[in-house]
Structure 1
Amino acid sequence: MEAITVLDADQCWNLLSESVMGRLALSADGEPEIFPINAYAHNGKILFRTGEGTKLSELAVNSRVAFETDGFTSKIGWSVVAKGHARILTGTKEIQEADQLPLKPWVPTLKMNYVEIDVTEISGRRFAFGPEPDRYPV
């Protein structure tokens, strides 16, 4: 097995669809910010819920975001990064449809807003763990 394997889009979406937690990267007041979120991926989109606050207000100003999720065992690891445009759901029908998805807040707080990321770019890598190669081979 190669130490690093670049994943194709289907492999990335498969890993993304099985993941429930990741990190949302966006720009807040001109500075990079990263927020842990639970999310649901389907049909080329990533959906998450959020309350009022920094994420929501910044997404209204700059919709470009990145979402990263990963996983690992003692022998392998992987990482998927999806980039795209975020949109706050506002239509009654789309909110009702989102309510039917398996996306519930993990912490006991109200998260009344749904945000959908329309993914325009996705990439991923799988890593095989092992000892560092000899820096000075004989």
Structure 2
Amino acid sequence: MTEPERWFPSHIKEIPEEDCRELLATQEVGRVAYSVGDGRAPVVVPVNYTMEGDALLLRLGPNSNIAHHLQSTPASFEIDDYETYNQSGWSVLARGHARWVEAADHPAAERLLPWAEGKRTLVVLLEIQELTGRRLLSA
């Protein structure tokens, strides 16, 4: 195998917080993680979202299991992107506190259109308290 054909392990680089915010603003779908409080591992669910200042807005079904557990609790949210061919990508993790809010108090909620069917009338605000990211650079 010649030198140009050889693969090298990728390098991990921290993403600055401001760049993490920019990446969050470019996506529409991420995964929210929350604890159900029964000692089992956290639950992770894909959801549509939008940014509003230093917070994320989610629109959920008011009687859903996820809505019940995001009423007033710590939660995490992650987005990522990757390229299989060159083994590179990035990930952004937002950690904070989720709570129910009135849609009328958050104009950004109007542009949030969930992909899943059913009534999604409940708006959940995830206040970002910690924002980190990592980029996997191809060698």
TM-score normalized with structure 1 length: 0.82
* Per-residue deviation, 1:29: 3.8
One of 50, 56, 66 as aligned partner of 1:40: 50
| CA distance in structure 2 between the partners assigned to 1:27 and 1:99 by the alignment | 24
In structure 1, what is the equivalent of residue 133 of structure 2? Answer: 124
One of 9, 12, 26 as aligned partner of 2:34: 26
Q: Secondary structure at the match of 1:17?
A: helix
Tell me if the contact between 1:47 and 1:114 (Cα under 8 Å) persists in the aligned partners.
Answer: yes
Deviations 1:66-111 (A, max 9, x none): 0011012343300000000111113x6315x2443x2101022110
| CA distance in structure 2 between the partners assigned to 1:58 and 1:103 by the alignment | 20
* Per-residue deviation, 1:129: 3.4
Deviations 1:26-64 (A, max 9, x none): 01142311111111123111011100221111122x510
Tell me if the contact between 2:60 and 2:67 (Cα under 8 Å) persists in the aligned partners.
Answer: yes
| CA distance in structure 2 between the partners assigned to 1:86 and 1:5 by the alignment | 28
In structure 2, what is the equivalent of residue 68 of structure 1? Answer: 78
Tell me if the contact between 2:30 and 2:46 (Cα under 8 Å) persists in the aligned partners.
Answer: yes
Question: Map of 1:86-125 to 2, 5 A cutoff?
Answer: 86-90=98-102, 93-94=104-105, 97-100=107-110, 102-125=111-134
In structure 1, what is the equivalent of residue 90 of structure 2? Answer: 78
Tell me if the contact between 2:60 and 2:124 (Cα under 8 Å) persists in the aligned partners.
Answer: yes
User: What is the identity percentage for the equivalent residue pairs of Structure 1 and Structure 2?
Assistant: 29
Q: Provide the aligned C-alpha RMSD in A.
A: 1.8
Tell me if the contact between 2:59 and 2:109 (Cα under 8 Å) persists in the aligned partners.
Answer: no
How many residues in Structure 1 have an aligned counterpart in Structure 2? 125
Q: Name structure 2 gaps, 5 residues minimum.
A: 1-9
TM-score normalized with structure 2 length: 0.81
